[in-house]
Structure formats: C-alpha cells, structure tokens
C-alpha cells in the first residue's frame, strides 16, 4: 500500500470522504515529514496550535463539499494569516502577527483544508529566488545545491519534497511558474481577477494573483476551485467558469491552434539547450495529439520592458515606504535599490507607465487572439546554484540576472492571461525543466483541459526527488 504522501491531494481527500483517514491523521503525517525532512527551506513557520484547532473543528462538523476537504496545505508567507506570524520574507517584519486573514487564507479554511504553516518567500516576493534573511534558502529537492525559484519557492519546495500535497502561491511576474519549473511541478497562474486580493489590494497595477502549485493538473485545478471567486470590493474579476475547474480536466478539447515562439521577451539572452529541447519536445507532443502548431513572432516588444520595470519598482516601494526608518534599514540591498527607483517615479510617470503597459497588453492580446494557446519555455536555464543570481553588492546586476533567467513569464502577468508551467522534461542529470502554456483571458478551463491531456500522454507524477 502506498504511503499517504505518495497519493495525490485528491486521493487523500477521497480517503477523508470515505472516513479511511481523518484530517488530523493527515496533518500529523505531514508534520512528521516536515520535522524530519525539511532540508529544502520550505517552511518559515509551522503553525501547530492553529493546526490542532482546525483539526478539532473539522472533526466536529460534517464533511464539506470540496474534494480537498481535510487535505493539508500551506500558505505563502506573503499572505495574511490571523494569529500566525507573517514575515513577508523580510527581517523588517520578522515578528509581525496579523490580526486578520486575507481572502486566500479564508478560502482555504472555508474549504476545510488545514494549513500547516507559512511557506518561504523572498523579501516582499520580489526576487525570482528565495533566499530571505528570515529563513534558509528554498532549494529544489532534485538538487539541494540549486534554487527552488521564487517567489513561491517555499511552497514549491514543500510540494516537491512531499511535505504538503498541494500549496497556494502567488505570481506577479512568474512567481508560481518559476518555482514549479525548478521543482518539477504544475504551477498555475490564473486570469487576472479570478482570485480576490481582498482585503489589502496591494497591487494597483494588476500584475499579481494567487494560484496553484501541485504535482498533478487535477490537484492544481481542485485548488483553483477552492481559491477562485470574487468579493464585493474587487477592482476587477473574471467571469465564472461553466462548471468546476476540476471538471474541465475531463472535457474533450478538440483540435487547438497553438502558437509558439522561443525568442526571449525581456532580455536578449541565449536559451539553454535543455530548455529549448523541452520546448521542441512539447511542440512535437502537442502535434502528436492532433493540435496545429504555428510559429509566431514575439507578441510583445522590448519597449514594454521599461514600463514593467517602473511598475515593479513602484510596487516594491509601496511595501517599504510605510516602514519607520529603523525598520527600513533592515531591508535587503535589492529591495532598497528597487525602492529608491520606485520612489523616484512621479505620479504622472507612474500613470503613463501603466497606460503604456495596458496598450502593450492590448496589442499582444490582439495578436494572440487567433490562437487557443501559446507555448514557450518557462525559463531560459536550468535552476541555478543558490546565490548565483543574488548579488547584494550590485543590485542592478542581480536584477539583470533575474531577467535573463525568466525572460517569458512576466508577459502573461502584463496581459492578465492564465498560464501554466508543466514538468515535461528532465535533464540527463535529473533536473526538471518546465514548459509554459498560456491561454486567452478567462480560458482556464481550456488550459486545464489541454494540460490534463498532455499529462495523460506524458505522465510525470510518479517521479520522485531524492529524499522523498
């Protein structure tokens, strides 16, 4: 018989529904694994008192409607969790305990999932590596000398190492898809407005959204069902799906037109051979499944990059500027550099940058409208060594290295399109390499159906990293 952690999140939920295992037993199983096996920098805080209280509440009530009822998970350390330390990956907030929970936390609790704690993230979620001052670096369990990616690096490390079966992440420039690629997982960034950012609404540009990190497409879809939905104060929202996202994984999708391009968008860099190979193999697989593959020019010009960078710097400044001077001194060099850039942007300049980004997004959406999906690599290289991207002495070089590593992911944050990284390729020495598919806005159902078809043709869920 398989161990509990060998099962998918949905299979564990089914055991709970059949009363073959209790939510408390599942939580204890994973807590034991976290205690023994978290050498990947997955967790910042383990919320044992909160876990016990939640398990008692679930035991006292009926089994809920979600197929993930009773399944353990974890919440990224950027998300507010009432009564549980939330550091935002920063020494400036090392002892901060929120009084309220945000929408993501409340949705997870309402579904009857048990959060085991807070997953590791870089300072304010800005870098694409997870090496904060408040926790050890998050590393991929496929090679513990290499990064798990960021900013949802702790969440991806936790799922990949079997410390939780599924986890929430957030993505403002690739922060779900980057660690999914580094850790050999499914990473789903949904459409802008699909998941409410209440109550803080800290991203006035609309780049960031919560999403799913999982070992299987169906687990990712089930977690999206948990997280999705609008709240009354949301500034934008996606139309509701025709059914559940999990059901979408079972629907026939027909023959699709899939556009593809390989040219990096935000940096002029070579694409590593293994990443290009993964993209070519994915193209061949899609063609073998009956889909039409069309080579296209990159849909977004280099002129869009400065607009995105202006917005990114201002978003960082919004996190730091309210801090008192003594706390502000605790932030990292990269954060300080981005904050200074952001604070130097005038109100009119910021408005002009947002308007330009909207126009670049509109042009890209128009160019891509004839296609059902878009295929690119997820990343330009295999996961780098810990510390290889980070450069505290030269934050500008640090930022440039991040752009060179992730030259495609942020485009779909600008357009608001749903996008997913799928673990379709491994290098000869065992490193995972993701490929990325994006779909038209609000077409997560089609994207999930295509992803499920790909997974059925080239399954990956039985792959296990060292130390599993």
Catalytic positions, please?
A: 76, 151, 175
For 105, the 3-state DSSP assignment is: helix
Mutual angle of helices 217-227 and 103-110, in 10-degree steps: 110
3-class secondary-structure state, position 145: coil
Tokens of 277: 């190979």
Distance CA 399, CA 401 (A): 5
Q: Which residues contact 69 (CB under 8 A, 6 or more apart)?
A: 13, 16, 17, 23, 58, 63, 111, 112, 113
* Enclosing H/E stretch for 240: none
CB atoms within 10 A of CB 319: 23
Q: Give me the DSSP letters along 218-242.
A: HHHHHHHHHH-B--TT-S--PPPPS
Residue 468 to residue 466: CA distance in whole angstroms: 6
**Rounded Cα distance, 172 and 229, in Å:** 19
How far is Cα 58 from Cα 62, in angstroms, rounded to an integer?
7
Residue 204 CA to residue 75 CA, distance in Å, equals: 22
Instruction: Specify the length of the chain in residues.
Output: 468
Buried b (16+ CB within 10 A) or exposed e, 375-395: bbbbbbbbbbebeebbbeeeb
Q: Which residues are 436's β-sheet partners? A: 376, 421
Q: Which residues contact 114 (CB under 8 A, 6 or more apart)?
A: 23, 26, 27, 51, 54, 55, 58, 70, 71, 72, 73
SS3 label, residue 447: helix
In contact, 73 and 116? CB cutoff 8 Å: yes
Nearest residue to 444 (alpha-carbon basis) of 416, 465, 408, 409: 416
**Distance from the Cα of residue 239 to its chain's centroid:** 21
CA distance 325 to 441: 41
Sign of the C-alpha dihedral computed for residues 266, 343, 363 and 285 taken in this order:
positive
């Amino acid at each position: 018989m398989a161990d509990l952690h060998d099962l998918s999140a949905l299979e564990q939920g089914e055991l709970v529904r059949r009363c073959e295992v209790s939510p408390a037993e599942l939580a204890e199983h994973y807590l034991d694994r976290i205690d023994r096996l978290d050498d990947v920098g997955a967790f910042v805080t383990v919320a044992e008192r909160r876990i016990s209280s939640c398990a008692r509440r679930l035991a006292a009530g009926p089994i809920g409607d979600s197929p993930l009822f009773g399944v353990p998970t974890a919440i990224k350390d950027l998300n507010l969790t009432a009564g549980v330390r939330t550091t935002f990956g920063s020494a400036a907030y090392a002892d901060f305990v929120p009084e309220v929970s945000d929408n993501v936390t409340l949705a997870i609790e309402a579904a009857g999932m048990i959060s085991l704690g807070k997953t590791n993230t870089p300072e304010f979620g800005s870098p694409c590596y997870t090496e904060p001052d408040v926790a050890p670096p998050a590393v991929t369990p496929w090679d513990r000398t290499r990064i798990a990616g960021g900013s949802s690096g702790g969440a991806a490390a936790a799922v990949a190492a079997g410390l939780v079966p599924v986890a929430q992440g957030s993505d403002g420039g690739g922060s779900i898809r980057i660690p999914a690629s580094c850790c050999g997982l499914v990473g789903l960034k949904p459409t802008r407005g699909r998941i409410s950012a209440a109550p803080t609404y800290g991203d006035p540009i609309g780049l960031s959204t919560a999403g799913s990190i999982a070992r299987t497409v169906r687990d990712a879809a089930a977690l999206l069902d948990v997280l999705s939905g609008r709240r009354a104060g949301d500034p934008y929202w996606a139309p509701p799906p025709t059914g559940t996202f999990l059901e979408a994984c079972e629907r026939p999708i027909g023959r699709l037109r899939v556009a593809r391009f390989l040219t990096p968008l935000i940096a002029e860099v070579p694409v590593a051979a293994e990443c290009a190979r993964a993209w070519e193999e994915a193209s061949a697989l899609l063609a073998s499944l009956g889909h039409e593959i069309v080579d296209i020019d990159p849909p977004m010009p280099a002129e869009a990059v400065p607009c995105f960078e202006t917005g990114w710097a201002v978003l960082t400044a919004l996190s730091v500027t309210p801090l008192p001077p003594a706390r502000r001194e605790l932030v990292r060099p990269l954060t300080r550099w981005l904050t200074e850039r952001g604070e130097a942007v005038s109100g009119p300049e910021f408005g002009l940058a947002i308007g330009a980004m909207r126009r670049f997004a509109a042009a890209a959406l128009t160019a891509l409208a004839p296609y059902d999906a878009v295929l690119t690599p997820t990343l330009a290289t295999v996961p780098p060594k810990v510390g290889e991207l980070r450069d505290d002495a030269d934050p500008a070089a640090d930022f440039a290295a991040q752009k060179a590593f992730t030259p495609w992911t942020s485009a779909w944050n600008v357009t608001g399109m749903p996008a997913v990284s799928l673990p379709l390729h491994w290098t000869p020495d065992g490193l995972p390499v993701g490929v990325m598919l994006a779909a038209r806005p609000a077409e997560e159902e089609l994207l999930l159906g295509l992803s499920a078809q790909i997974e059925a043709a080239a399954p990956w869920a039985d792959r296990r990293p060292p130390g599993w």
